[in-house]
Amino acid sequence: MAEQHKQLGDYEIVRELGKGGMGQVYLVRNLISDRIEAMKVLLPDLAQQGDLASRFMREIKLLASLDHPNIAALRTAFTADNQLVMIMEYVEGDTLAHRLEFGAFSTADTLNYITQVLNALSYAHGKGIIHRDIKPSNMMLTPQGVVKLMDFGIARSTTDLGMTVTGTTMGSLDYMSPEQVKSEPTDARSDLYSVGVSIYEMVTGHRMFGATSSFSVMEAHVKETPRAPIEVQPSIPKGLSDIIMMAVAKDPAQRFQTADAFRNALSQVSGSSVAPAPAPPAVVVTPPPFTPTPSPAPVVTPPPAPPAPYTPAPQPSGGGRHVGWLVVAAIVVLVALFGGTQVYRSHKQNAAVDSAMPPSTTTTTPASPTEPAPQPTPPQPSPSATAPDAMTPSSPAPEPTHRIVPPRAQVNTPPVNTGPTPEEIAAQKKLMDDLEHQSDQLDSRAAAVESSVGTLEQQMHQSGLGLRGDIVEARANLRNDMAKAKQALDNADTDRAQKFMQQADRELDKLEAFTGHR
């Protein structure tokens, strides 16, 4: 219908580019901006299906949120002549499927192109969008060497078992995951299976299954184990062959769990012959030098010593009682000079000074033999300071100053250690229970990651390759931190247990990102 009009909305149809899973694609020119773009029109016979049309519209909204250099962008969408229309970025270049007609790709080119595809899938999967039709014919290679993933998010009927619509090409069936064939729910791992099938064809030059009928291809995806790529093409690196076989595992749990994990595994193949090891591990070594903070503490310790030399201060001057109070005042001034906070922290020392003062005034007055009469008067205020009669003698002013001492003696009594309260014991027990639960969760995560890393390491080792340096270091750190955390828990040392469990959690994050178990 669109061909008859030669114009749809503000777009002039230049020529037909091909047919997608559910629509026809045209090269068009915008009559206003004069920009060349691609137009995809929902097939007329499908436009009458309300559910399918509404799903097509939801997909358009998702595609509008995608902005990635390896994804052909959606410009806009509209309805015209009762047809749903998408205007896409026109990508000039050649599909990888067309390039495959001239033979298999080199390992370097395959890794380059598929890495770009996985970058696009990682971005889209992160936004909850599954492609569901990954194949070389949907990978466009530009003259600049950039791969653009096409036909993103084409809606499918739930009754078509993932097959293409009647009247369109049947190429998609060769790249479908077993769960798509069985009409089971699909997720990101289904796209990764299709990527694995695509790599298989790109490096061998042959389809993964040589079946000719649609049913036999579907059955092969579900039941048949393909030949290893290295058996088809011996020049393929063993590591790459193992990675492809892992990607096309029948069980989604046995595949790479994320596009990032798939890409990381492929980097082992390319990195082994190009660059030794990346730099990230150096960042981890920096934190330890920052521990020596307790240096200011020794500066505060000298002040307690000075009070002792000042206890013999009551010189034998004739002032008697007044001299004693002058000495008290002098000590208060000196203690204030050395820091008031030290007075409140050393209660025992303050009590010793205060208790030493009254005897000194009592002993100095009898030592002066000049006046016997004043002797009875001075001794009584000091020893009987607790009696109310002591308030009436002739020196009421010094008495309130001297009464600062008894409160300090009372402050000294509370520090008696009665042990932890029941609330503290309950809180400690809850903390231990929580930490043990966290430790069990870390154990479970660590076991899954160790298994995946171990499998990949064996595959790499068989082809003479090794894991990346940062992954080896992260695994060693994880084991060490887990062991120290368990030892701290056995000793009920919650602070150390929390510290090492946090460190183990960080290492697990690295390994899970690498293996795709996050």
Which one, of 278, 247, 267, lies nearest residue 460 by Cα? Answer: 267
Bigger pLDDT: 431 or 294?
A: 431
Q: Which residues contact 420 (CB under 8 A, 6 or more apart)?
A: 428
3-state secondary structure of 376: coil
Cβ atoms of residues 191 and 132 within 8 Å: yes
Q: What is the mean pLDDT of residues 196-217?
A: 91
What confidence score (pLDDT) does residue 48 get?
A: 58
Give CA–CA dist 24/42, Å, rounded.
Answer: 7
What is the average pLDDT score of the chain? 73
Least confident of 134-143, 226-235, 265-274: 265-274
- For position 335, what pLDDT does the model report? 45
Q: Which of 515, 508, 516 is nearest to 467 (CA)?
A: 515
Give the neighbor-by-neighbor strand order of the sheet with 147-149: 94-95, 139-141, 147-149
CATH superfamily of 2-88: Phosphorylase Kinase; domain 1 (3.30.200.20)
Region 207-213: mean pLDDT is 86
Query: Would you call 144 exposed, middle or buried from its count of C-beta atoms within 10 A (0-12, 13-18, 19+)?
Result: exposed
C-alpha of 15 from chain center: 49
For residue 347, the one-letter residue type is H
Question: Which part of the chain is CATH 3.30.200.20?
Answer: 2-88
Other C-beta atoms within 10 Å of 161: how many? 15
Structure tokens at 149: 């993933």
Of 134-143, 239-248, 460-469, 479-488, which gets the smallest average pLDDT? 460-469
Strand-pair partners of 274: none
| Structure tokens that stand for 37 in this block | 């773009």
- List pLDDT tens digits, range 314-325: 444 444 444 454
Count CA atoms closer than 13 A to 235's CA, side-chain side.
Answer: 8
pLDDT at position 326: 52
Q: How far is CA 167 from CA 20, 40, 95, 162, 164, in A?
A: 10, 16, 21, 15, 8
> Tell me, what's the pLDDT at 425?
85
- Between residues 326 and 40, which one has the greater pLDDT? 40
Helices (H) and strands (E) in the chain, counts: 21, 9
Instruction: Kindly report which listed range (257-266, 378-387, 453-462) carries the lowest average pLDDT score.
Output: 378-387
Tens of pLDDT along 73-107? 989 888 887 778 889 899 999 999 999 999 999 99
Provide the pLDDT confidence category of residue 331 given band limits of 50, 70 and 90: low
Confidence of residue 383 (pLDDT cuts 50, 70, 90): very low
98-132 per-position pLDDT tens digit: 999 999 999 999 999 999 999 999 999 998 888 88
- The pairing of strands 139-141 and 36-42 is unpaired
- Spatial separation of the C-alpha atoms in residues 460 and 45, rounded to whole Å: 51
Average pLDDT over residues 33-47: 79
Q: Work out the number of other CB atoms within 10 angstroms of the CB of residue 151.
A: 22
Inform me whether the pLDDT recorded for 305 exceeds 70: no
User: What pLDDT is stored for residue 437 in this prediction?
Assistant: 84
Question: Which segment of 215-229, 263-277, 417-431, 452-466 scores lowest on mean pLDDT?
Answer: 263-277
Between CA 438 and CA 441 the distance in angstroms is: 5
The arithmetic mean of pLDDT across residues 232-255, rounded, is: 95
Residue 461 has a pLDDT of: 67
In the chain, list all ranges with CATH 1.20.120.
Answer: 419-515
Least confident of 135-139, 172-176, 363-367: 363-367
Residue 189 confidence (pLDDT) above 90: yes
Q: What's the pLDDT at 21?
A: 55
Handedness of CA 426, 428, 429, 431 (dihedral sign): positive
Q: Are 20 and 41 within 8 A, CB to CB? A: no
Neighbours of 421 (CB within 10 A): 9
The closest alpha carbon to 148, from 86, 67, 78, 204, belongs to 67
Cβ neighbours, 10 Å, residue 33: 9
Give the mean pLDDT of 412-423. Answer: 66
What span, in angstroms and rounded, lies between the C-alpha atoms of 112 and 109?
5
Angle between helices 188-204 and 107-126 (to 10 degrees): 170
The residue-averaged pLDDT of 355-374 equals 44
- Whether the predicted pLDDT of 359 surpasses 70: no
CATH of 94-275, one of 3.40.1180.10, 1.10.10.10, 2.60.120.560, 1.10.510.10: 1.10.510.10
Place of tokens 């208060």: 332
Is residue 190 scored above 80 in pLDDT? yes
The reported pLDDT for the residue numbered 97 is: 95
DSSP string, 275-333: -S--STHHHHTSSGGG----TTHHHHSSTTSTTGGGTT---S-TTTHHHHHHHHHHHHH
11 and 30 Cβ atoms separated by less than 8 Å: yes
pLDDT at 308: 47
> Which residues are part of the catalytic machinery?
133
Query: Token match 């530009």: residue?
Result: 142
pLDDT at 111: 96
Position 225 pLDDT exceeds 90? yes
- What tokens does 411 get? 């402050």
Taking residue 64's Cβ as centre, other Cβ atoms within 10 Å add up to 14
Say which residue the tokens 């030493």 belong to: 356
**Which residues in the chain are classed under CATH 1.10.510.10?**
94-275
Q: What is the CATH number of domain 419-515?
A: 1.20.120
* 52, pLDDT greater than 60: yes
**pLDDT classification of 465: cutoffs 50, 70, 90:** low
* Whether the predicted pLDDT of 390 surpasses 50: no
Give residue 337's pLDDT band: very low, low, confident or very high (50, 70, 90). Answer: low
Percent share of the chain, pLDDT over 90: 32
Q: Residue 49: pLDDT band by 50, 70, 90 thresholds?
A: low
